[in-house]
Amino acid sequence: MTIVTTATAETRYIDAGGIRYAYRRFGASGRTPLLCLQHFTGTLDNWDPAIIDALAEDREVVLFENAGVGRSGGEVPASIAAMAEHVLRFLDALGVAKVHILGYSLGGFLAQDIAIARPGLVGRLVISGSAPQGGPGAGMDRPELIAIYTDTAMAPAEKLKRLFFPSTPAGAAAADAFVERLATRSAEADLPAAPSVAPVQLQAMIDWANWGGDVGGKLAKITHPVLVANGNNDTMIPTENSFTLAKFLPDATLIIYPNAGHGALFQYVDDYVAHVRTFLRGA
């Protein structure tokens, strides 16, 4: 039997609510699938094979591409709530009764809203490099970050290195290894995020960060087990937000990786995989 991996998984499509969503689904059957929700402007091809392939040994993984991104149709949703609604439409069309969710960065915002909107649909949550609604700095709109997003002369791979990894020898080595892993895709590549994606997603993240509601009260509604992970110096979505998540989520486990930033999961890939697999074991 041929083993399907991140490099070889076919891109599938499903229609729901007039939108054609692109996704990839592969891995061992028999357990609750793991739905993976991507970062700002991320596509199906931005998932780290070292993480996804290891997790797929235990269960099916479903890599989802939201409306207007990559090969998915429709317009880019203008709010986090609208993005989460697209995920729910997709899951309803897919016909799954329950999923665990791995939400990275922007994907972690969606994971929270999905768990509140449809608690019975969600088993466990893994929230990496993310923030609660109203979290300081969660809009990722600081000038030094905008300068990188908008630098048309900088290669996408270089942007990932600059944004996700610390400027240390270990960080540089991890960044190079991560980019090399992303380049191993051998099946049809996804389309890169169109120029229209970034400004819409960024404004949605800014609106999320500027929310003035009861942060603790909202997080208290998420009673699922949650694994919260981040680097100790996340300069994109400040690490303090991970501590806030862990403080107010009723059933949270917090892991902070040393000398790491937003891409801590890619820098400490073996540890991260072990932690996620342990958290999801038996579920």
Question: Exposure string (b/e) for 2-16, b if CB count within 10 Å is 16 or more?
Answer: eebbbeebebeeeee
Name, in order, each residue with C-beta under 8 angstroms of 158's C-beta and a sequence gap of 6 or more: none
Tell whether 179 is covered by a domain. Answer: yes
Residues 218-245: tens digit of each pLDDT:
999 999 999 999 999 999 999 999 999 9
Tell whether 222 is covered by a domain. Answer: yes
Please give the mean pLDDT across all residues of the chain.
97
Tell whether 162 is covered by a domain. Answer: yes
Tell whether 2 is covered by a domain. Answer: no
As for how many domains the chain has, the answer is: 1
Tell whether 269 is covered by a domain. Answer: yes
Numbers of helices and strands, H then E, in the chain:
11, 8
CA 162 to chain CA mean position, Å: 18
Residues 176-187: tens digit of each pLDDT:
999 999 999 999
Over the Cα atoms of the chain, what is R_g? 17
Residues 4-35: tens digit of each pLDDT:
999 999 999 999 999 999 999 999 999 999 99
Task: Give the CATH number of the domain where residue 159 resides.
Answer: 3.40.50.1820
Residues 57-92: tens digit of each pLDDT:
999 999 999 999 999 999 999 999 999 999 999 999
At 199, the amino acid letter reads: P
Range of the domain at 48: 12-280
Nearest 5°: phi and psi at 48? -70, 120
Tell whether 5 is covered by a domain. Answer: no
Tell whether 40 is covered by a domain. Answer: yes
pTM (predicted TM-score): 0.97
Tell whether 6 is covered by a domain. Answer: no
Share of the chain above pLDDT 70, in %: 100
* pLDDT for the residue 283: 86
